[in-house]
Structure 1
Amino acid sequence: MPIWVDADACPVVVREILFRAAQRWQVTTTFVANQAVRVPPSPYLKTRQVPQGFDVADDEIVAQLSQGDLVITQDIPLAAEAIEKGADVFNPRGQAFSRENIRQRLAMRNFMEELRSAGQVTGGPASFSQADRKAFADQLDRWLQRYARK
């Protein structure tokens, strides 16, 4: 079961965790972005550069993934599509998306987008913390352990 990474907005520290995990667990990990992504030499690390454009990387990930794959993304609509195809999904902060919570997350995302477009909300997400890094690493480790059992 490969890992697909929405690499355009993926924090560098998360990429580094994924580099090490792919090598240690020997799982193919593909970083999809509309710009070049540098990865260390490894038979398990791949990059796929897509043309510039709205949701082009997301569309490429959805087109390539299979049931049981893992998708790492902060993009809620991409997460929803991946879940629909049977993928496991979590964000770089280690928060899992599932059939049970994705509708609520989509609704909240749409609500926040409406507020932003009306000028009501100007701040973005909190900066990436050490706790976020640990939560991601722990979530990835749990997924990889399940993967290894299959």
Structure 2
Amino acid sequence: MKIFIDGDGSPVKDATIEVALVYSLEVVIVTSIDHYSLKEYPKNVSFVYVDKGADAADYKIVQLIKGDDLLVTQDYGLASLVLPKGACVLHQLGYQYTAATIDGLLEQRYFSAKVRKSGGHTKGPKAFTAENRELFKEKLIEVLEAKKENER
């Protein structure tokens, strides 16, 4: 199993890497070449850089991810594309996307976009907090423990 991170703007990269080290899991961060970094990462972390473009990272993740992998993303559309492959998908706020919840999330996104397109305003996301990060880490550990238990 690998953990993929939709890396453009993800506030939980370091938290994910920290947990992955404990579980000896490989982390693949897929991000735009615009976010190229010289920062040093542990050996279990690799980067896949893609061209500039709105959905370039998403398409690459869909291409690379497999059924036993885990994806960290806040993108409902991307989540909807990898769930049918059997991958586990976590939002940076610590909740898990599922086949039962994804349609409602996509519908909500559609209606919000429709409101904005007609000149209306919708609320943006709240600022990401240290509490959010801890909640995410707890959920990631819970999911990894459940996967480990299922493999036995």
Does the 8 A contact of 1:31 with 1:37 survive in 2?
no
Quote the Cα distance in structure 2 between the aligned partners of 1:62 and 1:38: 26
2:129 corresponds to 1:119: no
Give the AA of the match of 1:30.
Answer: V
Give the unaligned 5+ runs of structure 2: none
Does the 8 A contact of 2:112 with 2:122 survive in 1?
no
2:8 corresponds to 1:8: yes
Give the unaligned 5+ runs of structure 1: none
Give the AA of the match of 2:67.
Answer: Q
> What's the secondary structure of 2:100's corresponding residue?
coil
> What's the secondary structure of 1:92's corresponding residue?
coil
Shift of 1:37: 4.3
Q: Among all aligned residue pairs of Structure 1 and Structure 2, give the percentage whose two residues are the same amino acid.
A: 28
Structure 1 vs Structure 2 CA RMSD = 1.5
What's the TM-score, normalizing by structure 2? 0.90
Does the 8 A contact of 2:19 with 2:137 survive in 1?
no
Structure 1 residues 96-115: aligned runs within 5 Å: 96-115=96-115
Query: Which aligned runs of 4 or more in structure 1 are off by greater than 6 angstroms?
Result: none
2:46 corresponds to 1:46: yes
What's the TM-score, normalizing by structure 1? 0.91
Shift of 1:148: 3.0
Q: How many residues align?
A: 148
Give the AA of the match of 1:140.
Answer: L
